[in-house]
């Protein structure tokens, strides 16, 4: 990381180059890749850049504050660590490094069910958090119940319930690479594989434990079990968002899983306005997918998101420089957001609104 001095958004791409050079082909492609033709993955990135900004001038921006409150948690910037599997692929310290960087930056680390460290181990390295825990609904509801209760008992402040994975996607890179995670990696939060071999993180076999019969009626279960708020992650429609909130979700994440599930799914920047409108302030709205700069964060907030989640760039930072690399990524995004706010004449997160975008050019408008 010593060779890297992040000064602009393009440095996230530079960081990815460093990560690519350090990682095995299989691991790099597993993180970088998407489903099928990777159309949605590319569309996510492109849709943010397509949103033109209409900055204000001649406003006092001598003090810009990027901090905000999300489901009761104060963060230094509305940039969260997205849940992503197996940080041990990128760095020996795995999720411990990511969690430390997130805590130091002052944002929420969302720990993945498929993490290489247990939720207790990650809680032990960042006792003060803030942390959220992501899971799927398992066929064995008792297993999910125990997980969310363990999350509550170890200080996770919310449960992120991923709902976009009723089937396994086909990821060409992983198929071509015959990708299998290195055998030393464990996924201690997941149920044991059907083979009974808990030591083999065969994600495909493990994912068979997710329940494809889960419905809106189940959305409130994690809250009933743990008392924690639930954020439903992985929807792109206003009606689904509205129903999730009506069923007790505290928020939703507009997400197509980084283009890793159904290829052809609408880009999240294009889906976001409909979801914001449907939720109508009844819950929090988060978005992920293709956020690559602080300016993209501003665009997401201008479309009505409360915060963004960042996935791949975090892993590139982790591979390039461990905890320090993740800190560099979060700092870069936070500083870019502050700079974009100054350019736009806004000093507080709550002042960022749709008027800052060329609404006539909004994605999807013909
Ligand atoms: C896991 O959720 C993945 O997208 O690989």
Residue nearest to atom 5 of ligand 1 (CA): 85
Whole-angstrom Cα distance, residue 285 to residue 264? 22
Write the pLDDT tens digit of every residue in 326-361. Answer: 999 999 999 999 999 999 999 999 999 999 999 665
The residue count of the chain comes to: 366
Angle at 253 between CA 113 and CA 203, to 5 degrees: 25
| Closest residue by Cα to residue 35 from 262, 195, 191 | 262
DSSP-based three-state secondary structure for 223: helix
What residues are paired with 310 via a beta bridge?
81
**Ligand 1 midpoint to CA 261 (Å):** 8
**Ligand 1 midpoint to CA 201 (Å):** 13
Q: Token pair for residue 361? A: 């050019």
First CA to last CA across the chain, in angstroms? 44
Write the pLDDT tens digit of every residue in 259-314. Answer: 999 999 999 999 999 999 999 999 999 999 999 999 999 999 999 999 999 999 99
- pLDDT > 90: percent of the chain: 88
Residue with tokens 């709550």: 350
Question: Would the CB of 113 count as within 6 Å of ligand 1?
Answer: no
Whole-angstrom Cα distance, residue 352 to residue 297? 11
Query: Residue 94: which region, alpha, beta or left (left: phi > 0; alpha: psi -120 to 50)?
Result: left
Q: Which residues of 324-341 are buried (b: 16+ CB within 10 A; e: fewer)?
A: bbbbbbbbbbbebbbebb
Question: Would the CB of 27 count as within 6 Å of ligand 1?
Answer: no
Question: Would the CB of 115 count as within 6 Å of ligand 1?
Answer: no
- Contact between 162 and 136 (Cβ < 8 Å): yes
Whole-angstrom Cα distance, residue 138 to residue 3? 44
* pLDDT for res 12: 87
* pLDDT for res 302: 98
- Contact between 338 and 301 (Cβ < 8 Å): no
Q: 10 Å Cβ neighbour count for 126?
A: 21
Query: Does residue 203 surpass a pLDDT of 90?
Result: no
Annotated catalytic, 87?
A: no
Q: What is the mean pLDDT of the segment spanning 91-120?
A: 98
- More reliable by pLDDT, 322 or 362: 322
Residue with tokens 């997130």: 102
Catalytic member of 56, 138, 184, 257: 257
* pLDDT for res 206: 73
Q: How confident is the model at residue 128 (pLDDT cuts 50, 70, 90)?
A: very high
Question: Would the CB of 257 count as within 6 Å of ligand 1?
Answer: yes
Question: Would the CB of 214 count as within 6 Å of ligand 1?
Answer: no
- Contact between 333 and 79 (Cβ < 8 Å): yes
pLDDT, averaged across the chain:
93
Q: What is the mean pLDDT of the segment spanning 31-54?
A: 98
Peptide bond preceding 130 in cis form (omega within 30 of 0): yes
Residue nearest to atom 1 of ligand 1 (CA): 85
Run of H or E including 163: none
* pLDDT for res 360: 61
**Ligand 1 midpoint to CA 84 (Å):** 7
H helices, E strands: number in the chain: 13, 10
- Contact between 33 and 311 (Cβ < 8 Å): no
| Closest residue by Cα to residue 261 from 304, 212, 195, 316 | 212
Best of 36, 84, 135, 179 for a ligand 1 pocket test (most atoms within 8 Å of beta carbon): 84
**Ligand 1 midpoint to CA 57 (Å):** 42
Residue nearest to atom 3 of ligand 1 (CA): 85
Q: Token pair for residue 277? A: 């409108």
pTM of the full structure: 0.95
* pLDDT for res 267: 98
Residue nearest to atom 4 of ligand 1 (CA): 260
Question: Would the CB of 260 count as within 6 Å of ligand 1?
Answer: yes
């Amino acid at each position: 990381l010593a060779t890297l001095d992040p000064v602009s958004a393009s440095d996230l791409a530079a960081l990815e180059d460093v990560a690519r050079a350090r990682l095995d082909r299989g691991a790099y492609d597993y993180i970088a890749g998407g489903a099928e033709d990777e159309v949605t993955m590319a569309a996510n990135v492109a849709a943010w850049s397509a949103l033109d900004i209409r900055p204000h001038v001649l406003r006092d921006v001598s003090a810009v504050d990027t901090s905000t409150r999300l489901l009761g948690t104060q963060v230094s910037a509305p940039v969260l660590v997205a849940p992503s599997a197996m940080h041990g692929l990128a760095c020996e310290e795995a999720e411990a490094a990511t969690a430390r960087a997130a805590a130091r930056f002052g944002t929420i680390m969302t720990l993945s069910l498929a993490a290489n460290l247990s939720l207790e181990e990650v809680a032990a390295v960042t006792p003060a958090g803030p942390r959220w825990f992501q899971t799927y609904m398992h066929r064995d509801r008792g297993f999910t119940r125990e997980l969310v209760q363990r999350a509550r008992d170890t200080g996770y402040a919310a449960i992120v319930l991923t709902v976009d994975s009723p089937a396994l996607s086909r990821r060409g890179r992983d198929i071509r690479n015959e990708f299998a995670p290195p055998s030393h990696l464990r996924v201690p939060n997941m149920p044991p594989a059907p083979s009974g071999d808990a030591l083999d993180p065969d994600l495909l076999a493990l994912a068979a434990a997710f329940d494809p019969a889960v419905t809106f009626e189940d959305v409130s279960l994690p809250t009933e079990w743990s008392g924690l708020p639930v954020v439903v992650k992985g929807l792109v429609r206003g009606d689904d968002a509205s129903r999730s909130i009506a069923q007790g979700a505290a928020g939703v994440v507009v997400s197509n899983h980084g283009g890793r599930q159904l290829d052809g799914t609408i880009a999240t920047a294009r889906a976001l306005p409909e979801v914001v409108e449907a939720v109508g302030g009844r819950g929090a709205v988060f978005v992920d997918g293709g956020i690559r700069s602080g300016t993209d964060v501003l665009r997401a907030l201008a479309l009505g998101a409360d915060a963004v989640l960042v996935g791949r760039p975090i892993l590139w930072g982790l591979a390039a420089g461990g905890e320090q690399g993740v800190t560099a990524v979060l700092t870069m995004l936070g500083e870019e957001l502050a700079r974009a706010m100054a350019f736009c004449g806004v000093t507080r997160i709550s002042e960022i609104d749709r008027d800052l975008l060329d609404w006539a050019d909004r994605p999807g408008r013909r």
